[in-house]
């Protein structure tokens, strides 16, 4: 079922090698375990309910293949492969035979009460966390995005846009840098191609990137500059508003002119905080360490006696506001995880009940 590369943004720079598609030694090592009969590596570009579309290394234009969705461990079709995943494709059966382990994974809490976890994007290398040198800039929001990136095992890069509309852009750089001295921070005027080129080091061939950030900060403007063509609508205009329906809405992976892949799905635009326990520990590692000195292991650093965190605040070693933001994020994470556990518990109970009913009927 090899079809011409019709809907993946085939351009002159269309990939021909696995490396262009984002193949890395991490995946190559798994190939050795799977054996050669398992199939050829194909990267998932689109996920639909009834089929998934992958792109493999092919002569000239690359080879696009459609296949039925992989089934997850519990038979859940949504659970298995997501955009950015690598699968082994067997051309004879027209199916994916294996899903390769991921180097990174974004997931999110689904909409609605259930709070089910959805897989959003796999094997992303860099998350551009975009905010502007204006009131959009919010330290708590940056920390939240950093926790998401850490949790997904993706390298964050802070991108500060609209320096041209502000008197002292470096004050914003300084505030962001104070979050973590090892963070990469780029000041970028998204209207100026020379300035946007500052992001090129992360956008080379074989790299996969995502853009995170609130509405109006310049994500689409930057993407269009990096792609060298209009792949996203800008300035508050939705892709759907454009005359007819913009073809880009169904695409999930866009090739940037430097050779990188931009992964953009509706889910990616709505990532929320879920299961980010480790991500939060990474962002607030200094506070996590101090908290180990609290008398109680489950100390909330509120009114408990022997609280090392409050002692550190009192001693002027740490910032009380930052501790407050940390406590809020940890509480939110705990709440989300509790809801998730509860839901899983309910599902298990329901499964048992169904089994018991079937047994009863069979008797």
Ligand X SMILES: Nc1nc2c(ncn2[C@@H]2O[C@H](COP(=O)(O)OP(=O)(O)OP(=O)(O)O)[C@@H](O)[C@H]2O)c(=O)[nH]1
Taking the least distance from each CB to Mg ion, the nearer of 269 and 327 is: 269
Q: Which residue is nearest to ligand X (CB)?
A: 218
Q: Which of 148, 138, 115 is nearest to 325 (CA)?
A: 138
Q: Is 84 left (phi over 0), alpha (psi -120 to 50) or beta?
A: left
CB of 224 to ligand X, least distance (A): 8
Taking the least distance from each CB to Zn ion, the nearer of 106 and 326 is: 326
DSSP state, residue 58: -
CB proximity list for 247: less than 8 A, separation 6 or greater: 7
Interacting stretch for Zn ion, rule CB under 5 A, among 146-154, 199-207, 224-232, 295-303?
A: 295-303
Taking the least distance from each CB to ligand X, the nearer of 186 and 333 is: 186
CB of 252 to ligand X, least distance (A): 16
Kindly write out the interface string for residues 200-219 of this chain, putting x where it contacts ligand X by CB under 6 A and - elsewhere: -------------x-xxxxx
Whole-number Cα distances in Å, 74 to 69, 77, 79: 14, 9, 8
CB of 169 to ligand X, least distance (A): 10
146: part of which helix (H) or strand (E)?
helix 139-152
Taking the least distance from each CB to ligand X, the nearer of 83 and 217 is: 217
Does residue 280 bind Zn ion (CB under 5 A)? no
CB of 232 to Mg ion, least distance (A): 5
CB of 202 to Mg ion, least distance (A): 19
Taking the least distance from each CB to ligand X, the nearer of 135 and 236 is: 236
Extract the tokens encoding 184. Answer: 């990469």
Rounded distance between C-alpha atoms, residue 218 and residue 159, angstroms: 10
CB of 293 to Zn ion, least distance (A): 8
Extract the tokens encoding 170. Answer: 């470096």
Rounded distance between C-alpha atoms, residue 246 and residue 319, angstroms: 47
Q: How far is CA 276 from the centre of its chain?
A: 12
Residue of the chain from 301, 318, 330, 333 that contacts Zn ion (CB under 5 A)? 301
Taking the least distance from each CB to ligand X, the nearer of 70 and 268 is: 268
- Sheet strands (E) in the chain: 2-3, 40-47, 52-56, 63-67, 86-90, 95-99, 105-109, 117-122, 126-132, 155-161, 184-187, 208-212, 253-255, 261-263
Please compute, for residue 225, the number of CA atoms within 13 A of its CA located in the half-sphere on the CB side: 18
Q: Choose among Zn ion, ligand X, Mg ion, none what residue 218 binds, the Cβ cut-off being 5 to 8 Å by kind.
A: ligand X
Extract the tokens encoding 222. Answer: 């930057």
Alpha-carbon torsion (303, 305, 307, 313), positive or negative:
positive
Residues interacting with Mg ion, by CB under 5 A?
219-220
Kindly write out the interface string for residues 94-133 of this chain, putting x where it contacts ligand X by CB under 6 A and - elsewhere: ----------------------------------------
3-state SS assignment for residue 82: coil
CB of 220 to Mg ion, least distance (A): 3
Strands 184-187, 155-161: pairing is parallel
Kindly write out the interface string for residues 156-195 of this chain, putting x where it contacts ligand X by CB under 6 A and - elsewhere: -----xx-xx-----------------------xxx----
Q: Choose among Zn ion, Mg ion, ligand X, none what residue 294 binds, the Cβ cut-off being 5 to 8 Å by kind.
A: Zn ion
Taking the least distance from each CB to Zn ion, the nearer of 2 and 300 is: 300
Q: Which residues bind ligand X (CB under 6 A)?
A: 161-162, 164-165, 189-191, 213, 215-221, 234-236
- Binding region for Zn ion (CB under 5 A): 294, 299, 301, 307, 309
């Amino acid at each position: 079922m090899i079809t011409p590369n019709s809907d993946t943004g085939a351009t002159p720079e269309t990939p021909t090698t696995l490396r262009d598609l984002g193949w890395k030694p991490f995946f190559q090592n798994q190939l050795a375990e799977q054996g050669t009969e398992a199939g050829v590596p194909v990267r998932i570009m689109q996920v639909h309910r009834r089929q998934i579309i992958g792109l493999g290394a092919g002569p000239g234009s690359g080879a696009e293949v459609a296949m039925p969705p992989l089934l997850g461990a519990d038979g859940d079709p949504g659970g298995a492969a997501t955009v950015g995943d690598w699968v082994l494709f067997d051309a004879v059966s027209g199916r994916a035979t294996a899903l390769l382990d991921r180097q990174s994974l974004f997931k999110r809490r689904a909409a609605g009460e259930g709070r089910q976890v959805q897989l959003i994007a796999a094997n992303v290398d860099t998350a551009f966390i975009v905010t502007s040198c204006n009131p959009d800039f919010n330290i708590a929001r940056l920390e939240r995005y950093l926790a998401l990136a850490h949790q997904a095992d993706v390298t964050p890069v802070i991108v500060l846009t609209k320096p041209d509309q502000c008197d002292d852009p470096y004050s914003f750089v300084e505030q962001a840098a104070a979050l973590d001295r090892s963070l990469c921070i780029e000041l970028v005027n998204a209207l100026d191609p020379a300035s946007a080129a500052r992001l090129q080091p992360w956008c080379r061939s074989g790299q996969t990137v995502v853009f995170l950030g609130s509405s109006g900060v310049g994500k689409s403007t930057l993407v269009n500059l990096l792609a060298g063509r209009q792949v996203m609508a800008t300035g508050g205009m939705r892709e759907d508003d454009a005359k007819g329906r913009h073809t880009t809405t169904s695409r999930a992976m866009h090739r940037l002119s430097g050779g990188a892949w931009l992964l953009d799905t509706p889910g990616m635009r709505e990532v929320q905080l879920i299961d980010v326990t480790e991500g939060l520990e990474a962002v607030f590692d200094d506070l996590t360490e101090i908290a180990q000195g609290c008398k109680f292991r489950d100390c909330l650093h509120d009114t408990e006696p022997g609280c090392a965190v409050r002692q550190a605040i009192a001693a002027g070693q740490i910032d009380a506001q930052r501790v407050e933001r940390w406590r809020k994020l940890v509480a939110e994470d705990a709440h989300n995880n509790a809801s998730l556990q509860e839901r899983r518990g309910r599902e298990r109970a329901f499964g048992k009940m169904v089994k018991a009913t079937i047994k009863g009927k069979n008797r």
